[in-house]
Structure 1
Amino acid sequence: MSTATKVLDTVLDRTVVPGYSKIGYAVRSRFWPADPAPGALAGKTALVTGANSGLGKAAVAGLARLGASVHLVVRNTEKGEQARQEIVNEIPQAHLEVHRCDISSLADVRAFAEGFAPDTLDVLVHNAGALPPSRAETPEGNETTLATHVLGPFLLTGLLRPALAAARGRVVFVSSGGMYTAKLRSDDPQYREGEYAGAKAYARTKRMQVVLAEQWAARLADDGVTVHSTHPGWADTPGVTGSLPGFNKIMGPLLRTPDQGADTIVWLAAADEPTRASGHFWHDRRVRPTHYLPWQHDTPEARKRLWDLCVEETGLVI
């Protein structure tokens, strides 16, 4: 990438609206790293959570086009089967399987992982998301966004670690650019203090995902497993439409398609470049800073408390 294109890319990123919208995608796609080779995932196995719509469905299709056998993990199997059929109609050679699992339920995650039990897993994409309008808890007593974005993915990663290690696989956490608005709040992870705001809880837990990706990258390095996080920019998905109707109304013409939003997810799963290092935060096929403001930087103590919280709440033996 030339100096001029690096400057342009950085300007797009810092000005947010152009960079996160379809404008940024259109500009960057002219000079970003090459696509994965055709058939790059032939014979590989991938798993995508939150796979029945939006970014998850688009990621499944992208992985299938590259030859992967993809497991769709969804809460509603009827919707999952509908998504599977729509993808197969578009990609007749796709090999897709649907599984039911509510990622916010630690019991569900354990039952799914025990039943799934693959010998090898090449790609694990944590995409399941939640943005509730008011504070809610799972039956296990965990705040919903924390359970969906942090605790469930943490447990699933740990339980599938042997299969990921056997394949020297890749893990991708689908975070959000909204995480830039939040600091790592390990002092009140369950959001029990203060007035609850769904968007703020979402941003907090998306920040946690980025930190967890860094921590898992260090933990899994000796296993040969690559771990990254990414944000998709602003994409036209059911999550945006349903949870942020005002934002969708204002930004609608500039929103990316689900395929555009999922591009870097698929690229991280299949391209060669992401395996050269681990633990980075990506957007539009380029590593991005995890902090822009001084007050956002994570303390070692907060990072340790987050990891310890995940271990304590999930009971995962590391």
Structure 2
Amino acid sequence: MLPLPRRIAVGIDTVLDRTVAPGYTRVGQAIRRRLPTWPADPDPGALAGRVAVVTGATSGLGLATAEALARLGAGVVLAARDQVKGRRVQQELSERLPQAELQLARCDVSDLDDVRRFVDELDVPRVDVLVHNAGAMPPERTESAQGHELTMALHVLGPVLMTELLRPRLAGGRVVLVTSGGMYAQRLRADDPEYLQGDYSPTTAYARSKRAQVELLPVLDQRWAPEGISVHATHPGWADTPGVVDSLPTFHRLTGPLLRDAGGGADTTVWLAATEPVPTGGRLWHDRRARPTHLLPRTRSGDAERAELWEWVRAQLDLPPAP
């Protein structure tokens, strides 16, 4: 059989992406893996001697990411809020990967004071890969320890603060924000980042916070560029994780047979962490390809809205402006 021309392969990949289903399912990923445009896997041992920190590492995508990074040779810090569960997961991973260097550290990413403590106590001289995976979709409007709407605290404020505090140890490293395809349905609400207006919807709040992550990508990539830190975001498609089961039971019931496993959902995050050369930062990725950040005209944001959101984030975290 003659190889598929590259332009046709790109066209197939793009159609899968724009139609959402089946592109976000395990079917879409299986098709893409067979196209000539699918990038090569990272080399075995690609992360040997490197250190990776993964938040929300005790289940779902976070656990799959931590295990895959360890299999590539990285020493992995499992950052988890639930230490009982964390110790169990650490033990299970150690049994599967007896040569892996695994460290458990407590961190509630939504609590800014706990993020500061976590960074102060983190016992590693450097961080080569930082994966912001911790996430939640509370059923009603909930506030963090500092009084911020929880999804914005957990998905935006906490990750930005953690990265900012780790900048000296992250020099030359990579930061990956695990976002969600759900953000495509929402526009940036820089005018209401705390979701104080209108009736609260958990799925809308979640998607808004993920939209905020994606909108801030170029800002963060530019801010941390002086240290050689590249910033990326990935969305996993539709993956079968405990978070989906708990937060979206109807969706899980209807799409269950088509959902990717956690490893499939974490694939691009791991690829971005380990592939060489370092992909261009400030972009959104899905199935190892940079994707558009908007699919609908009504969700498009301008530079002014992005700047307004960044100024809000900077003010909440008391960060100095970039030089």
TM-score normalised by the chain length of structure 2 = 0.95
The residue identity in structure 2 corresponding to 1:58 is A
Shift of 1:48: 0.3
Asked if the contact 2:80–2:105 (Cα under 8 Å) also holds between the matched residues in 1, the reply is: yes
Name 2:272's counterpart in structure 1: 268
Structure 2 distance, partners of 1:193, 1:241, is 28
Structure 2 distance, partners of 1:308, 1:193, is 20
Name 1:316's counterpart in structure 2: 319
Structure 1 distance, partners of 2:279, 2:267, is 19
Q: 1:187 aligns with which of 185, 191, 195?
A: 191
Asked if 1:81 corresponds to 2:87, the answer is yes
Asked if 1:23 corresponds to 2:31, the answer is no
Shift of 1:83: 1.3
Shift of 1:91: 1.7
Give the paired residue count: 315
Q: Any unmatched runs of 5+ in structure 2? A: none
Structure 1 distance, partners of 2:196, 2:279, is 40
Give CA-to-partner distance per residue, 1:186-209, whole Å, 9 cap, x none. 100000110000000000000111
The residue identity in structure 1 corresponding to 2:202 is G
Identity %: 54
Asked if 1:137 corresponds to 2:140, the answer is no
Name 1:235's counterpart in structure 2: 239
Report 1:74-153 matches (<5 A): 74-116=80-122, 118-153=124-159
TM-score normalised by the chain length of structure 1 = 0.97
Give CA-to-partner distance per residue, 1:149-202, whole Å, 9 cap, x none. 01000100100011111xx00000000000100111110000011000000000
Q: 1:219 aligns with which of 223, 242, 252?
A: 223
Shift of 1:118: 3.5
Name 1:63's counterpart in structure 2: 69
Write 1 or 2 for the structure with the bigger share of helix.
Answer: 1
Name 1:46's counterpart in structure 2: 52
Structure 1 distance, partners of 2:218, 2:245, is 30
Asked if 1:247 corresponds to 2:251, the answer is yes
Structure 1 distance, partners of 2:161, 2:75, is 23
The residue identity in structure 2 corresponding to 1:51 is A
Q: 2:304 aligns with which of 289, 301, 317?
A: 301
Q: Any unmatched runs of 5+ in structure 1? A: none
Give CA-to-partner distance per residue, 1:6-41, whole Å, 9 cap, x none. 111011111111100000111111231000011000
Structure 2 distance, partners of 1:66, 1:276, is 18
The residue identity in structure 2 corresponding to 1:229 is A
Structure 1 distance, partners of 2:279, 2:88, is 37
Structure 1 distance, partners of 2:240, 2:91, is 21
After the TM superposition, list the runs of 4 or more consecutive aligned residues in structure 1 that deviate by more than 6 angstroms. none
The residue identity in structure 2 corresponding to 1:283 is H
Structure 2 distance, partners of 1:283, 1:100, is 29
The residue identity in structure 2 corresponding to 1:316 is L
Shift of 1:317: 3.5
